[in-house]
Amino acid sequence: MEEQGLNSDTSNLSPTGTEGAQVTQKPMFRPHHRITFHGSNMQYLGLALYNLLLTVLTLGLYYPWAKSAIRKFLWQETEIDGSRFDWHGTGKEMFRGFIKAYLFLGFFFLLINFGPMFLPPSSVIWVVLFSYLVILAFVPLAIHGAMRYRLSRTSFRGIHFGYRGNLKEFYGKVSLDFLFTILTLGIYGYWLQINARRYVMKHSRFGDVSAKFNATGGDFLGLTIIQGLLIAVTIYIYMPWALINFYKFYIENTGLEQNGKTYYLKSDARGGDFLWVLLKSAFITIISLGLASPIASLWIHKFYIESISLSGEFDFDAIQQTEKSYKDATGDDIADILDLDF
């Protein structure tokens, strides 16, 4: 059932590039651009096993190469308007980031996990507290670095994505919001998250197309309260629907601005379908004793990503290259270790 309906929309979108100057005359109605995902389960499983073997053999040193290959697979199998995305990152770049991230954070995680055994009892609590603070202080840097690296290494039809955020400015905003969050006993955390996302999106580019995130912390808090209530009332049965509503919140508030006009992404994901995918994934993972878990995660990825569409008026043929070359993968790995998903 994975392979059905993949090419239905893209056939309408045959490129108009050959007509040259005539492109200004567009038809009144253009079908939505839909994302399709072509990755084959077995191909992905093979890649995951290959990665696992090399990672184990090299005692984990192969991990950055593995991560890069997985990302390349996911990007290259993702199609919109008849073209694929591309991932330019390399294992070598990510290895450098990996080493830096591990030297920084590994030390503090070791302190937290094993410090109580080795440190004088009176100082343990301070050392652990300090370690947590240091790790926390890394979060904005991780987001900044990861965005810069990931976006600069992603392209579509030769046009690179990019991130123009300013680290100092970002730290300033986040620190202030963090202070408010403590003062409001965590409630302002909803604004903290959304404001950070707004900042990051606002400074993300796809060539000369810029992105934006439209929701506020209040919207996010409201959504969380309603979904939380529904989850509680239904004793967690509502969970898949809630997850989809959060996903749609993130996707549908994301807009792309081209020629002064903003086009918002759409997601037609539905909770019932998601529940089915989750059940299927759990089943195959359990029945294979975890060996097929890459396939399960691919199903979930496919479900999420294929639900996305974009107004047909957005012109994928008219994007100008604006990025310069950029290399540094440290943030990417810090983000990975801290399990930040964005």
Q: Would you count residue 128 as binding another protein (CB under 8 A)?
A: no
Q: Which of 38, 96, 212, 280 binds another protein (CB under 8 A)?
A: 38
Q: Would you count residue 272 as binding another protein (CB under 8 A)?
A: no
Rounded-to-integer distance, Cα 70 and Cα 73, Å: 5
Rounded-to-integer distance, Cα 262 and Cα 255, Å: 6
Site residue total, another protein (CB under 8 A): 68
Smallest separation, CB 226 to another protein (Å): 28
Q: Please list the residues that pair with 34 across neighbouring strands.
A: 309
Greatest Cα-to-Cα distance within the chain, rounded to the nearest angstrom:
77
Rounded-to-integer distance, Cα 109 and Cα 111, Å: 5
- Using the Cα atoms of residue 11, residue 13, residue 17 and residue 18 in order, give the sign of their dihedral: positive
Smallest separation, CB 285 to another protein (Å): 15
Q: Please list the residues that pair with 162 across neighbouring strands.
A: 205
Whose CA is closest to 75, among 3, 155, 130? 155
Count Cβ neighbours within 10 Å for each residue of 39-63 and write b for 16 or more, e otherwise: bebeebbebbeebeeebeeeeeebb
Stretch of residues binding another protein (CB under 8 A), selected from 48-56, 196-204, 230-238, 263-271? 48-56
Q: Would you count residue 63 as binding another protein (CB under 8 A)?
A: yes
Q: Which of 43, 184, 234, 259 binds another protein (CB under 8 A)?
A: 43
- Site map 316..335 versus another protein, x via CB under 8 A: xxxxxx-xxx-------x--
Work out the number of other CB atoms within 10 angstroms of the CB of residue 112.
16
Q: What SS3 state is found at 40?
A: coil
- Site map 215..234 versus another protein, x via CB under 8 A: --------------------
Q: Would you count residue 126 as binding another protein (CB under 8 A)?
A: no
Q: Which of 7, 26, 118, 228 binds another protein (CB under 8 A)?
A: 118
Q: Would you count residue 46 as binding another protein (CB under 8 A)?
A: yes
Stretch of residues binding another protein (CB under 8 A), selected from 34-42, 173-181, 187-195, 264-272? 34-42
Helix 63-76 with 41-57: angle, nearest 10 deg: 170
List contacts with another protein (CB under 8 A): 15, 17-18, 20-21, 38-40, 42-43, 45-47, 49-50, 52-53, 55-57, 59-61, 63, 67, 69, 72-73, 76-77, 83-84, 86, 98, 102, 105-106, 109, 113-114, 117-121, 135, 155-160, 207, 291, 316-321, 323-325, 333, 336-339
